[in-house]
Chains A and B, each alone.
Chain A
Amino acid sequence: MKHNFKSTFSYLFISILFLFSYACNKDISLNPSGFVTTDVTSETQLSNQLAGIYNPLQLDAMYGNGLWGYFTGGNDEGFNTGSTSTTSVSNSLIEGLRSSSNDAGYYNLWKGLYSGIERANILLSVVNKPIMDERKRANIKGQALFLRAYYFYLLVNNYGDVPYKTIVTSEMGTDLNLAETPSKAIYDSIIKDMEAADSLVYPMSQIKTTLNISQSAVEAVLARVCLSAAGYPINGGFPYYKKALYWSEKLINANVHTLNTQPHPQYPNTPSYARLFINNMQNNFAENNTTEGIWDVGFVTNGVDAYSGLGYLATQKLGVIMGVQSTYSFTNSLASGSYRPYPSFYQLFDNNDTRRDWVMPKYAIDTGNNKYGIGTKATIVTPTKLRIKDSVFIRGKKIIIYDTTFYGSGATAYATIDYNTGGIISLTLTNGGRGYDSIRNITIGTSPGKNGKFKAILNPIDSSIVSLTQTVPGTGYVTIYDFSIGKWRREFELNQIKSNTLTTCYFPVIRYSDVLLMAAEADIQVRGGGTNATSVGLGYYNQVRNRAYNNTGLGIASAITMDDIKDERSRELCFEAIRRTDLKRWGISSTTNALNKVLNVMNTYNTNTPPASAILGATTTSIKNFLSFPQKYFFFPIPAGEIALDPALSQNIGW
């Protein structure tokens, strides 16, 4: 019995041990049926993966709003008046100088860029797997290489030193505590990848669209990247200017692109300068925009149109918050027109420059879809028996004077407004009306026109106004701050179903004028040209100038300096998401001076003519913040949440 027990016991024990050891190495993985993993692809899937790489361009933090809008904080062109928030960067320029490293805007841009980079990393790791046409493969690979490099450019340009990550995350396991790579090394890698892409992607003549990356886009952006690397804070200098000149001239000499020198055929009364922007608003429908256009970011839906409900991103606010102010809600064509110019920017233009009134139209759209001069309605009574209601301005000049039932009606006058002070310079009576009483001195009590005084001479027969003389101009009429930025205008929108908050306007990342101006700048830096009337650089510059003056020759310069280039770039490329980059590469003092200039003017304006208190408060704090630590605002902060998750990162100066 004992023996039996022992043997049974050991038999059982051994067999159990055997069972355990048997199974240990067998792979029992299952195949997922609902998704694919990052290490497989196919020819069709490569297209979808490529779409995924382009996709971040459409994000709100990128060309849906941020890059042309709230991240422009730190440039000298304009700002967003629509903000009442106190700290968020995504509300206005002014807030850019008040926000913290916790701000969602900085985080969303960072996140979007790195997601684009990882999508490209994944595509590049599998692009050689499918059996397919090699030219097509090269084109896909080239676009991925280029876009990854472009995203790194946006990172390094906006955040300074950042982690340079070109291996797929799936190869990194759980340790993602990456530290920053020096900016200069990142720039060199960007240039290397873009140069490689240039021979991989198709030329513009083949793809015939600005929505995808063509050789033109690669070369134009290469020039931009090289100029950035040449300037502050990388200070790469001559070799990079040389490269910038090489790539911009390569594109110019290829004769693929020219400036639009004729107005849009359907809108002959618009300047030639506007043609590309009208095309953008019309999704390049009438023209493929490849004459002057090089690379546009496309937007497919405004969230309510025929493409809504399919899950596509609907982000584009161009035309709405930056656009001609419109209260026409009948077809959902509202536009807050919150982006406004600084006075110094307005004054950069002269009267013959067709670009000024295109960028800053002096009208708005009312609830009946009519254009009217910009102004705010007010009822003013002083002395009590005569009412002047300046309810309608046309191009800032017209006042209608009317009354209530008791005090006359029908008088109309034009006013000439000083855009800087908001006061009336002179009045021209166009209709005397009738039934006014004999009181002749009019003082305007509230804004607009506060404290303005007029003398009215009446016709004793019908009590109409014979003439009006302004004695004190008053304040609060239209100023430059009241012009909305109208580079992209909703009135050209073709979309049948419009949205009050979004459009599908394309955004031009880079276009031919920029290439010409970059070439001119690089020419000055490399060949010292510009003062020489025969230099090629001056020729490039004058192409842009002449078109801006409607080919009248009035704009043509005989010599140029870097200062001319700086101003011209602002005049030509304003609000196209490039000004901040330009100011930075021209040096810290360039940025500081530009901002000092506009902020001080604004502060003065605020003090004299207090706008909504939130803006005043925001401005005051912003100015104080900026002046006390200008260097802080050179780069965006590394998002605080990201540092918390990746302790190897260090924060930028001042944040």
Chain B
Amino acid sequence: MNKDLRVLSRKNKFFKTALLSVLFLGLLTNTAIVFGQDPSSEIPKSSKKITGVVSSSVDKSPLEGVTVKIKGKSTAVQTGSDGKFTINATPQDTLVFSYINYTDQSIRVGNKTNIPVLLIETPSAGSEVIVIGYGTVKRKDATGSVGKVNIEDLKKAPVTSFDQALAGRVAGVVVSTNDGQPGGSSQIVIRGSTAGQEISPLYVIDGFPIENMDINSINMNDIENIEVLKDASSIAIYGARGANGVIIITTKKGKAEPTRVTYSVSNGSLNITKKLKMLSPYEFVKLQLEIDSVQSTGTTNVITNQKRYIDESQGIDLDYYKNVKPINWQDLIYRQGTIQTHNLSLIGGNKDNRYAINGGYTEQKGVIINTGLKKYDGKFNFESKYNDKIRYGVTLTYSNTGAYGTQPSSGSGGVVFGAMAFRPVNIIGAGDLETGFVDSSVLGTSTTVVPDNLVNPKQQALNEYRKNITVTTNLNSFIEYSILPDLKLKITGGVSNTKLTAEVFYNSKTSQGNINKNSSGNYYNNNLINGSINNTNNNNYLTETTLSYRKRFDQNNILDAVAGFSYQRGKSFGNGFSSYKIPLALEGFGINSLGAGTNATNWRYGTTQNQLVSFFGRVNYSLKERYLFTATGRNDGSSKFAAGNQWGFFPSAAFAWRFTQESFFKRKKSILTDGKLKISYGLVGNNKVNDFASLYQLALTSNAGYYIDGNYIQGSIPYFYGNKDITWEKTGELNIGTSLSFFKDRILIDIDYYRKETRNSLLNITLPSLAGYANGTNSQYQNAATITNRGLEFSITTTNIQKKNFAWTSSFNISFNKNKIVEFYRGTDIRQIGWNLYQSATAWVAKEGYPISQFFGYKWAGVYQYGDFNQLANGTYVLKPGIATYPNITGQVQPGDPKYADLNGDGVIDDNDRTIIGSALPIHTGGFSNNFSYKSFKLNLFFQWSYGNQVLNANKMVFNQTGNYYANSNQYAEYANRWTPTNPTNDIPRASSRTNGTDIDGNTRVSSRLIEDGSYLRFKTVSFSYNLPAKYINKMKLNSASIFISIQNLYTFTKYSGYDPEVSTYRAANPANLPSGVSGNTLGGVGYIYVQPSSGAAALAQGYDYVPYPRSRTFTVGANITF
């Protein structure tokens, strides 16, 4: 039995877990569990010589210095360096073996003379196993900084993918979802970002590194572990691609135990957390009339709006609107969403063959009508022992995620925008807005496009068809051969395929597909009913060969080494076509009517590939269990760079000192159970540029064509700037930290300080047009910046109360990061980024000496008041001399116009007066999780916060200021407090008519008026569960059963005035989301490997809020049943 136990305990996860659990309980009750021998046999009473070897259950290595004591006597010896001991004892005696960090073991002598002992390690926090690249390490032996996610807590959040629950779980990992779009993924930033556009970490799923991870493809229920590699020493084994950090996800594997079937189900509802108050009908009409009067001059009396809203003959005057019920568009497009999930898993096996099967289904109906998500996934894992030396296994996963519905933040046709902008009352005699498709008051003008705010947002939401279907298939297999007991060869091979199909169909009831005509008889929309289908197919092949060697040479020397070779190849191709002018009669067929378009030949095709060849190795050496050394190196070659610049070497070294193991410390009785100091330094890299970034590319394109020899032929033109000199971005990172355990793990503290310096940072730099590639992407990847990030991370986990029936544990973490741009490219130390609300304005600046993502614009200086003016004899107001104003204005600044600070004091408010007006980067972020358990009840409360970050509330540009964007747009309720002669407020400028582009309105100015404090504290997850008592379970022949209630986003404490302060709706133009090539039959062009939609977020342009998909509060009820 003893032998079996050893085998099992070494190889069997379940057994180990069970054992640990039992031991854990034992520890809590201060009772040692004795793995005794059968005491019933006949034994002589005389003393005899007993010998044996004490070894560790972990690796069977002999343990030196184990105290062997006879229970109740003073006799005691210690084992030698070979683990051997000799002691004289009687058969009635019981030997007690004790060793630090191992559980005491008592063995009755009986008739034995040779007693081999396998000491089992105490299941302390220090013995927790952490997955690092190509291996595992115990927490106590870890030299680097690795954050382990408390997966049980994470799973309590009722969300559709793990990233939505990851924020605040691990110090140094900042997760922000862009908005509440179903299926939308998050931006994950580990220890601060660089200036590059692509800042997401490397994901390693069961050993398979994936650069552009589809987060939705992972089923939360199937996750066994998530670890985050944060410092260079940990990351270096993934050298080339790890500079943004590495997230390692291990999924569930088979176990040597009887098959266990678990079924989980949950059902819930989603509700929008906030609606924004808009102007009432009375205030709205009052504003419209005010706009009339603003437009009127001495000679012309504008009554456009008066005619629309006022008809004294019918008794409709302004006061009439006090009693008009508003059309609340937000109520019309938002609904109560639903979420349901089902998950079934089978896990089992014997000691030779194990398997795990998992299947899941998730359906979410979003809070905006006609939006949602459907997801199916499945996993099959099988591992088997061929003989004593050979093991093999295979894992097959499949997921299919279909996200559908309008995408408010993607630009035109935004229903969230429409729900705020659309007028709340009908125009006299113009039909019912609520049932109509467009605001008929604007039809018949000669505008070329039906403006966004004139299409009924409800109709738009119901009719806009967008569907993104992502199908991910992975096949991973391995074979492991034990050459020697200490030396193992492992060969893995894997294929990963991600297929994205993006379908778009705009029928005649959408702004993009409308078939209305203006008074000149022209269509607003020349494409008429239209649609497109784009497919992207991304294949990734990986093969790895590793040789690992682990040996305890003696008591003091333990070596754990791994060396390997890895080859990864990515291939991607995309195709798609657009179809226009689809006959109205066929629009009912939706996306299936694309073939009927008159212009269905507009196809696209593109393909690209890359490869990565790597050699890597790591040596962990432990001296006397207290001096821990790690050296890692990886040599990566990437085809993305030109020969000569392809290879990068990424070394790292770490040293940790478990000072509590020192004899001088051991002798003291201390509240400190375990303590470790660690320091590491290493280089890691990043190669996130497009696949052929080193090549100067030509494209054959129609729009560059001309007549040659009488025929009009396509032009072959330079399209993409290569850069032969481009090479690895390298980050050098220093990490100094300590891990402390007090009161036998009742309090665990981790503190880490890091300093990262990223050199040769990969930036996509816009080139002067004289370089001649302006028809394509007018930019080039260059190694062109140096960025530093330094920070402090602090985590504490405490067991506050541990009673028989009641327990309370907490875990708290906080991280600080400071980011600085040290050098920026080509001596140009400033880079401004436009925003997608208004192209002509810049909203962010990157400047040497400052952090990234600084908001850039004018300082709001209030509103021009009467006191700033002299009144002329004819009644007009002229600014007093010396008061700054705008250049080149056709009219004069009038009282009530917006005023900005003239920072350079030249009397003119122009671009030179722009300055840094805020930052999207938080000062600190963190999370606080509490678990309470009382008998069979469990309660989890999770808080998460971000402090010190600001948000550019671009909605205010449109909804808290007239005269700048869309005519007739409704405004925020607070706009009623705008400047008027009788209400000379300094906060909101006066009403203005639509006069785009003139300076007075200040419409395109990003100013500090739009910057808001985005700090928040979110009461993010509440989960309450109840385990059914054993008597019921047994009756039902179940293994276990529990029911639970979970709430996500319960409440957010914030001063932010928009929907939610956690927001980032800026999308960089990302050609990667299209098949390479451009519409218009361009062949060639930029070859990108498919980048997930989340990657559109740009590091330099964070904290942008413009009509996001609102976040929701989720409430679910569910059950877990194990058969």
Contact = CB atoms under 8 A, between A and B. Distances in A.
A163 B771 CA distance: 10
Interface in A601-655: 617, 639, 642, 644-647, 649
A370 to B, nearest CB: 19
Given A33-B607, A617-B890, A212 B707 contact: yes
B770 A176 contact: yes
B615 A36 contact: no
Contacts of A119: 715, 717-718, 772
A1 B553 CA distance: 6
A311 B702 contact: yes
A178 interface: yes
B559 A8 contact: yes
B404 interface: no
Given A35-B1083, A87-B888, 11 more contacts: A15-B563, A23-B647, A30-B611, A37-B696, A51-B715, A55-B705, A114-B771, A115-B772, A172-B771, A313-B703, A647-B828
B696 A19 contact: no
Nearest to B573: A34
B993 interface: no
A146 to B, nearest CB: 14
A642 B769 contact: yes
Contacts of B522: 500
Interface stretch (A41-49, A254-262, A574-582): A41-49
B639 A28 contact: yes
Contacts of A269: none
B706 interface: yes
Given A169-B772, A312-B712, A19 B563 contact: yes
* Complex A-B, nearest 4 residue pairs according to Cβ-Cβ distance, in ascending order: A118-B772, A311-B1080, A35-B1084, A311-B702
Interface string B875-897: 00000000000001010000000
Contact of A19 (B615, B827, B1082): B615
Interface in B713-728: 713-725
Contact of B774 (A5, A22, A111): A111
Interface string A178-212: 10000000000000000000000000000001011
B219 interface: no
Given A32-B608, A51-B715, A174-B725, A121 B772 contact: yes
Contact of B706 (A13, A32, A52): A52
Interface stretch (B301-309, B381-389, B598-606): B598-606
B698 A309 contact: no
B637 A212 contact: no
Nearest to B888: A87
Interface string B433-462: 000000000000000000000000000000
Contacts of B700: 48
21 contacts: A12-B619, A16-B633, A19-B565, A20-B649, A28-B611, A36-B1084, A37-B698, A53-B706, A86-B888, A115-B773, A118-B773, A122-B698, A173-B725, A174-B765, A174-B784, A176-B767, A310-B1081, A617-B890, A644-B828, A645-B769, A645-B828
B867 interface: no
Contacts of B766: 645
A269 B642 CA distance: 67
Nearest to A310: B702
A8 B770 contact: no
A29 interface: yes
Contacts of A9: 559, 619, 621
B718 to A, nearest CB: 6
A122 B704 CA distance: 15
A227 to B, nearest CB: 26
Contacts of A51: 704-708, 713-716
B721 A169 contact: yes
Nearest to B609: A30
Contacts of B723: 173-174
Contacts of B997: 85-87
Contacts of A290: none
Nearest to B889: A86
A47 B706 CA distance: 10
Contact of B646 (A29, A35, A50): A29
Given A20-B649, A28-B646, A35-B699, A107 B769 contact: yes
A24 interface: yes
A411 to B, nearest CB: 33
Interface residues of B, number: 99
Interface in B839-891: 888, 890
A170 B696 CA distance: 7
A122 B559 contact: no
B293 to A, nearest CB: 19
B613 interface: yes
Given A13-B619, A86-B998, A311-B703, A177 B826 contact: yes
B695 A32 contact: yes
A110 interface: yes
Given A35-B699, A52-B716, A311-B1082, A20 B637 contact: no
Contacts of B765: 174
Nearest to B643: A27
A54 B610 CA distance: 35
Contacts of B705: 51-52, 55, 300, 312-313
Nearest to A314: B703
Nearest to B580: A309
A91 B549 CA distance: 75
A234 B980 CA distance: 59
Nearest to B570: A30
B771 A169 contact: yes
B704 A169 contact: no
A48 B617 contact: no
Interface string B641-671: 0110011010000000000000000000000
Contact of B770 (A54, A165, A211, A212): A165
